[in-house]
Amino acid sequence: MPNYATPPVTFARGEGSRLFDTDGKAYLDFLGGLATTSLGHSHPTVAEAIAVQARTLLHVSNLYGNTVGPDVAATLDRLLGGGGRVFFANSGAEANECAFKLARKWAGPGRYAVVSAYGSFHGRTLATLHATGQPEKHEPFQPLPEGFRHVALGDLGALDRAVGPDVAAVLLEPLQGEGGVNEAPAGYFAAVRQLCDERGVLLVMDEVQTGLGRTGRWFGFEHFDIRPDVVTLAKALGNGVPIGACWARADVAAAFVPGDHGTTFGGQPLAASAARAVLAVMEAEDVPARAARAGERLRAGLAALPGVTSVRGMGLLLAAELGLRGPNATGASRSAREVALAALERGLVVNPVTPTAIRVAPSLLVSDDEIDEALDVLAAVLA
Ligand code: PLP
């Protein structure tokens, strides 16, 4: 269906930070399938785990147990500080849907609303679309499910007014990814946590894009010294194999009883085997620390590029503001999209996250040489 533009290139193969198109041309992948292939392409440990599992057991449904999903749940719970329970889904949007249903069930009748931020992105299902704070994306699909409202990111007064007696949860990304790699002001998340505690509403952190090392910590919320009640994950968890997860404090998770929520595929052995291998590699390689170190190099390099006016983000989720000022000397209008296309022609994959900024989200195992190579391409394009 024509819901995506015609792709500029078709990829046939990937290895580490490299992609190869159908003509065999090599590209350096600094987008990672939208911050998803955090261990790079075809990681041997993940590939082997998937192959072994494919020969062992793919699927049994959640009416029966399997030996893989519980391992992944236990590891996620440990990384998240313990004391929680996990529901597995197949995507970020589904992980968030689980969070919404859980929040409604936990809060009880009359308390159902979710407050999220303008500029956020939480998914494309009808409910996650409404949670997404981009009203222009809502219009063609009205009426959307009730119970979602938005406040400006960082505006505590607006949040205070929005969290009325009908609110069950506040939903925030630690760093807005799709909305432009937007950071909240210092102190915001600690104040939000306090407000949620005072009002008795859940704080749900959408870590679908930021989770599992991307920001230089295991989870983005760790930068702010807070503990959420619910955390949603997807993208990096399967390194490209579709899997999502909704973690909640055990007493919150206890609001669900058998029959309240479900999924045919969620937590099935194949996807869970990928996630188990991903988490093992991430722990063995200490990818959050690697992402923090590599992120410093990449950030400094981006800031020094011709025309770049600012760099924002954390770890290896960064956006460079390109200082574009409308039409160039030849009268052609310039945009981040054109910069990204020019980079693609030179063999570098980056993403125009806004009309004036490009986003980079490479593998968390990216090498210094690969960072320098990507910066050289961008420097040539921008010059
Ligand atoms: N939440 C965040 C923060 C995201 O960045 C995304 C996707 O980009 C989603 C949710 C939706 O995830 P999915 O596309 O897997 O449904």
For residue 92, the CA-to-ligand 1 centroid distance in Å is: 5
101 carries an active-site annotation: no
In this prediction, residue 302 has a pLDDT band, given cuts at 50, 70 and 90, of very high
Closest of 270, 272, 339 to residue 88, by C-alpha: 272
Give yes or no: residues 257 and 118 share one domain. yes
Atom of ligand 1 nearest to the CA of 34: 8
Q: Which of 178, 230, 231, 239 to mutate to test the pocket of ligand 1 (most atoms within 8 A of CB)?
A: 178
Q: Please pick, among 30, 88, 100, 121, the residue that the annotation labels catalytic.
A: 121
CATH of the domain at 123: 3.40.640.10
Closest of 246, 195, 203, 194 to residue 221, by C-alpha: 203
Question: Which pLDDT value is given to residue 345?
Answer: 98
Residue 292 included in any domain: yes
Question: Which pLDDT value is given to residue 326?
Answer: 57
Burial of 260 (0-12, 13-18, 19+ CB in 10 A): exposed
Q: What angle do CA 210, 214, 18 make, to 5 degrees?
A: 125
Give yes or no: residues 252 and 378 share one domain. no
For residue 177, the CA-to-ligand 1 centroid distance in Å is: 9
Give yes or no: residues 146 and 220 share one domain. yes
Contact 375, 301 (CB under 8 A): yes
Enumerate residues 6+ apart whose C-beta is below 8 A from 44: none
25 carries an active-site annotation: no
CATH of the domain at 330: 3.90.1150.10
Q: Please pick, among 206, 224, 229, 256, the residue that the annotation labels catalytic.
A: 206
Question: Which pLDDT value is given to residue 181?
Answer: 98
For residue 206, the CA-to-ligand 1 centroid distance in Å is: 9
Question: Which pLDDT value is given to residue 351?
Answer: 97
Give yes or no: residues 270 and 300 share one domain. no
| Residue 141 predicted with pLDDT over 80 | yes
d(CA 189, CA 204): 11
Q: What angle do CA 103, 110, 266 make, to 5 degrees?
A: 25
Query: Which residue, of 285, 309, 327, is where some domain finishes?
Result: 285
pLDDT tens-digit readout, 303-340 = 999 999 999 999 999 999 998 765 555 555 579 999 99
Give yes or no: residues 230 and 360 share one domain. no
Contact 322, 333 (CB under 8 A): no
Give yes or no: residues 94 and 159 share one domain. yes
206 carries an active-site annotation: yes
Residue with tokens 């937590």: 267
Ligand 1 interacting residues, C-beta cut-off 6 A: 34, 91-93, 96, 121-123, 173, 177-178, 206, 208-209, 234
Average pLDDT over every residue of 67-77? 98
Question: Which pLDDT value is given to residue 328?
Answer: 54
Residue 36 included in any domain: no
For residue 179, the CA-to-ligand 1 centroid distance in Å is: 11
Average pLDDT over every residue of 232-240? 98
Give yes or no: residues 83 and 152 share one domain. yes
Residue 230 included in any domain: yes
Domain of residue 20, residue span: 11-30+286-382
| Residue 288 predicted with pLDDT over 70 | yes
Give yes or no: residues 108 and 121 share one domain. yes
pLDDT tens-digit readout, 333-368 = 579 999 999 999 999 999 999 999 999 999 999 999
Atom of ligand 1 nearest to the CA of 94: 16
Question: Which pLDDT value is given to residue 163?
Answer: 98
Q: Please pick, among 148, 224, 235, 256, the residue that the annotation labels catalytic.
A: 235
For atom 5 of ligand 1, which residue has the closest CA?
A: 209
For residue 135, the CA-to-ligand 1 centroid distance in Å is: 17
Question: Which pLDDT value is given to residue 334?
Answer: 73
Query: Which residue, of 262, 285, 308, is where some domain finishes?
Result: 285
Query: Which residue, of 260, 285, 310, is where some domain finishes?
Result: 285
| Residue 267 predicted with pLDDT over 70 | yes
Contact 102, 262 (CB under 8 A): no
pLDDT tens-digit readout, 30-52 = 999 999 999 999 999 999 999 99
Give yes or no: residues 325 and 217 share one domain. no
Residue 101 included in any domain: yes
Within 13 A of 285's CA, how many CA atoms are on the CB side?
23
Look at the chain and count its residues: 383
Residue 70 included in any domain: yes
Give yes or no: residues 185 and 70 share one domain. yes
Domain count along the chain: 2
pLDDT tens-digit readout, 111-139 = 999 999 999 999 999 999 999 999 999 99
What share of the chain has pLDDT > 70, as a percent? 98
Residue 6 included in any domain: no
d(CA 24, CA 111): 55
Residue 39 included in any domain: no
Give yes or no: residues 226 and 301 share one domain. no
Residue 2 included in any domain: no
| Residue 15 predicted with pLDDT over 60 | yes
What share of the chain has pLDDT > 90, as a percent? 97
For residue 97, the CA-to-ligand 1 centroid distance in Å is: 11
| Residue 161 predicted with pLDDT over 80 | yes
| Residue 382 predicted with pLDDT over 80 | yes
Give yes or no: residues 331 and 352 share one domain. yes
Atom of ligand 1 nearest to the CA of 96: 10
Question: Which pLDDT value is given to residue 324?
Answer: 78
User: Which DSSP letter does residue 238 get?
Assistant: G
The pTM is what?
Answer: 0.97
